[in-house]
Structure 1
């Protein structure tokens, strides 16, 4: 399956930044189901809209959340993850009191984040390593 590159324009540049973020409830408790899961989905989309981030895909499972989001170049992986975790924790614990009584906090303090792109790391490495082999670069260096 081919991945379509979708670049976003910002002042001073163009980027294609994607992030796969995974986080879990405290003690990996399976509390993300039914109305809680539905509301969590709404809140994540609301927070993404607020920041101008694009949700590519979102999967809420009873004991974890998988999110693929495209974000701006000024937002670090930790900022993106913590924006979603902090906001959703506060709202969900207000709206669903059972989430307060069963756990000291809604989310585990950790998360997983990996950059996602249409080009693999090996492709980028090969591209950089072969820059001087390209005809226009050889001419710039004075090599016929």
Structure 2
């Protein structure tokens, strides 16, 4: 991870975010897994976050993201989940 800076701050914040589908159903396999990786990568690129690692299991997702200090971790998770759900369905 690299140190980011703004006009008044230097920061190096990384977030390990884990989320799963409803009822932890094992649906994240095959083509859905590949599409989800693409969607999450594009979402991070759009919002200016750095995606360091992503691991998709059949029933949950691990994402390690570096973001600006003004972005709340809950906003990152909410944005990733909502955009990926809309695209997958």
TM-score tier by shorter-chain length is over 0.9
Q: Which runs of 4+ in 1 moved over 6 A?
A: none
- How far the C-alpha of 1:11 sits from its partner, in A, is 2.7
Count of equivalent residues? 89
- Is 1:50 paired with 2:23? no
TM-score, normalised via structure 2 length: 0.95
Residue 20 of structure 1 is matched in structure 2 by: 16
Residue 62 of structure 1 is matched in structure 2 by: 58
RMSD (CA atoms): 0.9
What is the CA–CA distance in structure 2 between the aligned matches of 1:36 and 1:50, rounded to whole Å? Answer: 21
Q: In terms of Rg, which structure is larger?
A: 1
Residue 32 of structure 2 is matched in structure 1 by: 36
Q: Which has the higher contact order (CA 8 A, sep 6+)?
A: 2
TM-score, normalised via structure 1 length: 0.60
What is the CA–CA distance in structure 2 between the aligned matches of 1:22 and 1:64, rounded to whole Å? Answer: 7
- How far the C-alpha of 1:78 sits from its partner, in A, is 0.6
| Structure 2 alignment gaps of length 5 or more | none
* Deviations 1:42-87 (CA, angstroms, capped at 9, x unpaired): 0000010011111111001110000010011111011010010000
